[in-house]
Amino acid sequence: MTNYFGTDGIRGEVGIEPITADFFLKLGWAVGSVLAQNNQNPSVVIGKDTRVSGYLFESALEAGFLSAGVDVGLLGPMPTPAIAYLTQTYGATAGVVISASHNNFQDNGVKFFSDKGFKLSSIDQKNIEQRLKQPMVSVSSNNIGKAIRHEQSLGRYIDFCKRSFDKSIDLSSLNIVVDCANGATYHIAKAVFSELGANVCIINNQPDGFNINLNCGATDTKGLQQIVLEKNADLGIAFDGDGDRLIMIDGDGEIVDGDELLFIIAKAWQACGVLTSNIVVGTKMTNLGIRRGYQDLGIDFIEADIGDRFVMEQLQKNNAILGGEGSGHIICLNQSTSGDAIIAALQVLAVIVKSAKTLGELKSQVQKYPQVLMNVKSTKKIDLHKNQALKLAQIEVQKKLGADGRVLIRASGTEPLIRIMVEGEDLQLVQKSVEELAATLN
């Protein structure tokens, strides 16, 4: 186990360890020292989302890398998947993203990509943590790294997104509303979709450092749903603050989540022979109805641990190209080395145009089981394996649900929460079961 890394990098509240300037300074040095040990002339690229603390941590990380003798390329505000792509484009040894993803501005964090555009392995993380325990010692003055700002990175990423789309498809028939969550896609999304022909209404694309994910984006779609209905749009597209989560809204204002979007893409790709290995990777949270939908299509479903890093591991292990989570992380490995919300949205738009079906019609091709998720705040660490009351309650709930229901209880990897998920055919029973399980934690 590592001390700092969670399911998706390092994350927490700004000003509280480890999300402080001095830690980020040493983190930059530690990562840089590991890179310098294993590579000649190492370099990194650093990108960030739009939260105000990004400037602080960008400077701290930059200083840490330079002091380890690592050259730095600054990208400015960019989506997380853009960093994965640009790390490879600029030939960097590693890529760094300063972001707390879907969290509000009070939080921040950092995640890393390898030179191949994949998130760092557990071994890499352990090596970094070992280096963090050592005293920080700068290289000599003639070996200090150099820093530049990459001015062309925005255009490069926009072109990359557009190249992932089938140019024979015309999007001019679609009226879409795009919610950028006042995050890292604010200056990218409209260009991509409108240049491919769609009629675009863009919202929440005025970041001020404090409004990222605030009542908007993939984690709060109420405003987008309302605007889709008011404008009689064909659909809505919602990103989170760092552009790696996608949630869509159909023409009736209904949410289409990551599980459903993944299914829509998988079914279309299978039909046209694109779905190599005939495999889709989901997670422990993937809905039972979705799993049975894959079974009906003859698509093999593989369950990964929760977190897009674990989805990626299973994709690579099984020579598969499509995976994701209900939260909206969708990895199209034939297009990108990380979950990319813009690219995933383009794949769905392609299915809509080719099939001549609405998003709502495509969603209706699979029926989800009722699923209730409850987050129980945890002020102190709870050992789920030793909580006998919870264990007994879970056994009783599973008996009532039978074969057509399931329970999943886990500690959040990014927040002080215990997440309880129950799903089954009977919504009333599912809701009651969640409440019973939560009561054992109070």
List, for residues 317-347, the tens digit of each pLDDT value: 999 999 999 999 999 999 999 999 999 999 9
Class of domain 371-439: alpha beta
The amino acid sitting at 32 is G
CATH superfamily of 164-254: Alpha-D-Glucose-1,6-Bisphosphate, subunit A, domain 3 (3.40.120.10)
Angle at 324 between CA 322 and CA 328, to 5 degrees: 130
Query: Which amino acid does the sequence have at 365?
Result: Q
* pLDDT tens digits for range 144-171: 999 999 999 999 999 999 999 998 999 9
pLDDT of residue 1 exceeding 50, the answer is no
Instruction: Tell me how far apart the terminal alpha carbons of the chain are, to the nearest angstrom.
Output: 28
Going by the DSSP 8-state scheme, the letter that residue 9 receives in this structure is B
The question of whether 378 is a catalytic residue gets the answer: no
What confidence score (pLDDT) does residue 216 get? 98
231-277 tens-digit pLDDT? 999 999 999 999 999 999 999 999 999 999 999 999 999 999 999 89
Which one of 33, 101, 153, 336 is the catalytic residue? Answer: 101
* Tokens encoding 79: 């989506």
CATH fold match for the domains 256-341+350-363 and 371-439: no
Q: Name 371's bridge partners.
A: 423
Lowest mean pLDDT among 296-310, 350-364, 376-390: 376-390
> Over the stretch 224-238, which tens digit does the pLDDT of each residue have?
999 999 999 999 999
| Average pLDDT of the residues in 170-195 | 98
The confidence score (pLDDT) of residue 7 equals 66
pLDDT, tens digit, 9 for 90 and up, residues 189-226 = 999 999 999 999 999 999 999 999 999 999 999 999 99
* Residue extents of the structural domains in the chain: 10-153, 164-254, 256-341+350-363, 371-439
Q: Which amino acid is at 49?
A: D
Nearest CA to 434 out of 413, 405, 412 is that of 405
Residues 6+ apart with CB under 8 A from 8: 101, 109, 111, 307, 308, 309, 413, 414
Instruction: Write down the pTM of the prediction.
Output: 0.91
